[in-house]
Structure 1
């Protein structure tokens, strides 16, 4: 197997590993050979865990082609290596003592005075925070000849500031470039100018929410109705790194940036402004659920048990999930604040469940041994296996040979050859397509073995949990269709199509699976059962074309580019079909149960009493006879004034329908009267015989659906090509289409008189009472 090593700022490096039993210390030596990094300076991270020596890849569940992050500790010489092993607690203690003993000497500044209201740049995200200068000192790190003089350069000074949000005194010392006079002058959005630098409220993660205050250089002011947006450059981070092409919606005040006025040039008005605090600026929400409303109970920012916000000093924060709990709400109640780490009841772990530090406990996935019905719903049973390869892997799957065949589609998904259990194309529009399934679902598909024409997805109304339907709209070059187009060796993806020509082999590989459903279209290349992997194909060209349905269809020509022989070629390897675990046993049990049930029915069959006087005479089975009127035998009932064609009289399904109790005489007469649609009614009656009344009604609604409005035809018109539409829908279609063609099959209807089919109207109203109420 192999894994990838990722170093920030560098491309990934592939490192081969013997097996999952490779230890971490052995892997460190491999990393040293590849990247020349000393093992003592390697910090390896996987899945948020620090990899420690003494454990294996299996302990951390590291799989094939997984990414391991490498962070290099600072220092390459021996002194730095020795310093790296010093106890961390001692280093912290030394730093703390050093900070406490730093001698600060008071000084004076020519720009600021103690007590001035200023804005301080945050050291993490670069936002400006409101504060106040409480002390001015000399920087102890800078030693110059001017230290003995009363005035010093501003660069040699440190300003101790107190943030308004900090309740306790802070030891925050800032340089002169990290502070500026507090912004208090508002600017109207109509007065903004291009190139102007202002201070705005912005949230980089959620632009529509309030955030912190940043410097912003305006390139453009956009107006959408009553809302304004600024487009320009925002400055983020401690070093004020510019981020170009930033769009910032205006949902707060806009402030001008104030320049520092020297102390000897200040006026009385300016002194008043620098001493009296202006209204406090808005800040980012701490809790988006309650919007920082103190009167609203909230489990996010209050107690997770009682949702109360009272007594914040008594709320304990979990060191794992960061939720808060009142000490009195816990069971048992906590009386004192814990000295070390504290975990809430849901995050508290049982030590017996821990296998190793940083390693998750491995458990084998349990599979049910119950009698599953393998013949139904296999797309929804859920996966019992997972492929180790990443989902965005192009090319063959290791261990899967050309010609391997699986019984069900879900097994193909488990193998990783084609992951979606239903969709025919697996891919992403920004990356490309990884695999497709060729099942002949579209009438425009054509298969010639070594190359085939594949139709894209979409264009069908699959509402109502339907898997298949007729084309009702044009296909678009989006989602899966665009993903498959990206595999063609033509850049960029174009709405007019593309042809790679002789460079078709340079395109991205596509794994192709043929389904048994292709047997009815192209039997010479399709498997007789299940789903077969046929190797790697490349997209030669893609183009839009009007299909047989009359709507635009995206077509793709794919050609085989695999070194292994095709399954239908002589000399190709033949593989036995793979069944799910337990499938054959379940089928055997089902067959045995069926035979047993049939035998029990024979034993329980009633016997006809013998006419012989001898009690030992063999009994005869009891048969049920039915009286039939000789005059009406085999003839369906006729309703007055209805002429039934000879072909309709010969329909065995409708003859059998006469004896169905759920179909009333009125329904039978209404159905037989609609002679133009007798084939559709024949199919509906067949559905009723097999599945019952509910499925019969649903099938009627689908058979007599107007494809224009997608509802059961109201005031239906039966065309010469035997399609049914609403009268009003068909009239509108003729107005927009001067050629007057059938919207379903494009048959010419110019000579047709638009008249309602009263027999169909009566039949639909009888089967579906009130379906057209309120429709014109």
Structure 2
């Protein structure tokens, strides 16, 4: 494989190396030093070259495979500074004429950074007769080489003294001098290895090397209270945005979501919002002051709630001070009012609105159906009906009555009595658990493939699944449309290629099948929603009737997807009258609420309506 090595000098220099994944780092470093030296025209010692990849320094004892370096990777090179050289100064060094003569012993150590600038430019002179080295004259600009004057520049950095040269250490990084007795921890012997002063010494645990990771136990983040807390705050999903939206039905849809069965569960509430079951990612009531509520979530947020499974008493929203930390606003601080979401629940009850006494439905089954979800937080108060984990859809409920009363906190709250009205069995019953096992319902965690186990990023069976062989069937379960639905698809000749493609693909649940159909194959290329009043073009694409008329007016008689000529469809007036009724029949069989807002509605038979429920058709 080939990797790039970049060295930053005055300008960036890059070389390409042909190496193997099992190439030792030491050999790669030597190759890089040689190639970089050829390009820069200078000699680069390999021991002065350090290599880094993704913030880690490559260690000599490792190979490239240990750092997961692949073909085309960029490796950064850094040239380390040369260590200061220790030199012997000849005795009787004469200073300037105006300065007193100073004498230094031959054991005095100096470094390159202490040498005068003019002396650095002069090469060392070697006497050929005796081989002695004559160094340039050294002059301290602060003490003028006076032995009796204490100086922190040419003497000990602590006391400034210039005595006891045998027990004086020079830092191998900055070249400063220190008496062994003046160190914070005095030394009795001269160190055998490299020695660094307190300013240059680094903690080995804080250096990223190839063999070990960075130690963050002493970092600022490790000392924060969040590093030791045990409470989970939603796994980082509390403030996450939606990655997609439900296009199978609109935001104002009332009733069950096509493809979503009772017992379906999601790991996080944001995923339930994306499925369209309960769209508000935080609020517990989906509705407004002008429209009836569509869905609610039971999470044990109010102490007045009382859950009995088939029936439960629900407390409205409001009456809490949310100006500070919303997580700590657990008690009522004011009376609740019949406004906003509370009013939307009252509108869902088949009774007149009464802001003082409330109301009770004469026939509670005439109330608007509301989708109800329960979360794992409900287990603190009602563990019998709460899921062990995540958010679970428990079916449709209707409001029997609503009234105003004084709550546990002493302030007035609005109470609502919900009663279950769904043909599918409740998920906590034996019939519901058997239905979950029969349908192969799994907990949704992410967009990865289905799997079994508790690994992150997988979909696994819900915890209340009583079927021991369900985990084996999850890997092989495939959703197959009913015979009636296949017959309807066969009549749609214009989209024969579409239905063949859908038949070739594998979908494990009805929800997954509808998602692929509504968000992919039958998504309008202009409005990006499920096609409404669909028109089948000669090229095979489907588009909304209104979007196609706008495209013909602005872009001419061409397909907005493939630019194919579609003049055979006629003028804009002719296109307005066209609609693929066969496709509408299929979509209405899959989505009973599809096309409710149109003026032209094709008749839907009992067979078509029975496709989703799976019940036998009455003859």
> What's the TM-score, normalizing by structure 2?
0.34
1 or 2, which has the higher strand percentage?
A: 1
Higher relative contact order (CA 8 A, sep 6+): 2
> What's the TM-score, normalizing by structure 1?
0.27
